[in-house]
Amino acid sequence: MCIRLITPLSRSSVLCSFSRIMAIRQSSDMSKFKEALKAAQDIVILSGAGISAESGIPTFRGAGGFWRKFQASALATPGAFKTSPSLVWEFYHYRREVATKAQPNAGHKAIAKFEAKYGKMKKITVITQNVDGLHIRAGSKNLIELHGNLFKTRCTKCKEVLTNYDNPICEALAGRGAPDEKAVAEDIPEQALPHCRRYSCGGLLRPHIVWFGENLDYEVLQRAEEAISSCDMCLVVGTSSVVYPAAMFAPQAADRGAIVAEFNIEPTPATPNFHFYFPGECGKTLPLALSE
């Protein structure tokens, strides 16, 4: 198929042409990507564990998927918290400490810089599956955190959600949470764990994280779906596209004609459905892709 440009095209025409061409053949052509990005007016950046892994945040899958002898995902459940809130809080105290010590990498910073520079001219939305807060620390403003945030708590009684950067979050957790599989879990009494400070409440606090077996917050999910349904370009950054519903966001955008570019260490099952694929660390590929 040959397309001849006779007269200058509008932004929408440029994006439509790119979509038709790239749906036939995937590209790693950075100059073509930048041309499409320049034409786009409504951009969604969907990030996952891969970008945070480059800052030293362990992932739930692969080598970083275990804490002590436990599969990390087995502790991120309502059942685990009900059975052993002490053990779950030890695990999350460890995760909070890791996230506190980690620093936003060049990928996080490139996204924030792009948003700061073009946010008044384009609609730019960052949707992240990560809970470490690194996008916030890098400077991203229009951010949707699908799965919550390690530095927020939710009261199991009154449901109040508050930001909390205390370290440790309670004295009983000081010095706890070592990932060594030989470490002995302390059965911390429930009354010594974090509790709501709201007058007359005093309910047990839990991490404000969407755990396995729980639904995403309706308003958060609605905001994400609205962003995906309106974007004309979507960047998939460091996500394996296997956790639903986020796994469907980029394919849905591609199906309705939006241009989708993937930035990942290696291809994923969804890669063949996208228009661009750039292999490598996000901290190396994103600064180049999002610069002028």
Query: Residue 93 in contact with residue 178, Cβ under 8 Å?
Result: no
How far apart are the C-alpha atoms of 48 and 129, rounded to whole Å? 5
Query: Residue 129 in contact with residue 48, Cβ under 8 Å?
Result: yes
Residue type, 127: I
How far apart are the C-alpha atoms of 149 and 270, rounded to whole Å? 26
The answer to whether the annotation marks 247 as part of a ligand binding site is: no
The answer to whether the annotation marks 255 as part of a ligand binding site is: no
Q: Which helix (H) or strand (E) holds 151?
A: strand 148-155
Quickly list DSSP for 258-285. -EEEEEESS--TTGGGSSEEEES-HHHH
The answer to whether the annotation marks 133 as part of a ligand binding site is: no
The answer to whether the annotation marks 49 as part of a ligand binding site is: yes
The answer to whether the annotation marks 148 as part of a ligand binding site is: no
The answer to whether the annotation marks 58 as part of a ligand binding site is: yes
Residue 66 makes CB contacts below 8 A (sequence gap 6+) with: 72, 181
The answer to whether the annotation marks 62 as part of a ligand binding site is: yes
The answer to whether the annotation marks 6 as part of a ligand binding site is: no
Query: Residue 176 in contact with residue 93, Cβ under 8 Å?
Result: yes
How far apart are the C-alpha atoms of 267 and 28, rounded to whole Å? 12
Closest CA to 108 of 158, 47, 163: 47
The answer to whether the annotation marks 54 as part of a ligand binding site is: yes
The answer to whether the annotation marks 266 as part of a ligand binding site is: yes
The answer to whether the annotation marks 196 as part of a ligand binding site is: yes
Catalytic residue among 93, 135, 147, 208: 147
Q: Which helix (H) or strand (E) holds 153?
A: strand 148-155
Residue type, 97: E
How far apart are the C-alpha atoms of 106 and 55, rounded to whole Å? 9
The answer to whether the annotation marks 238 as part of a ligand binding site is: yes
The answer to whether the annotation marks 155 as part of a ligand binding site is: yes
* Catalytic residue list contains 147: yes
The answer to whether the annotation marks 240 as part of a ligand binding site is: yes
Binding-site residue ranges: 48-67, 92, 95, 129-132, 155, 158, 196, 201, 238-240, 264-266, 282
Q: Which residues are catalytic?
A: 147
Binding-site residue ranges for Zn(2+): 155, 158, 196, 201
Binding-site residue ranges for substrate: 92, 95
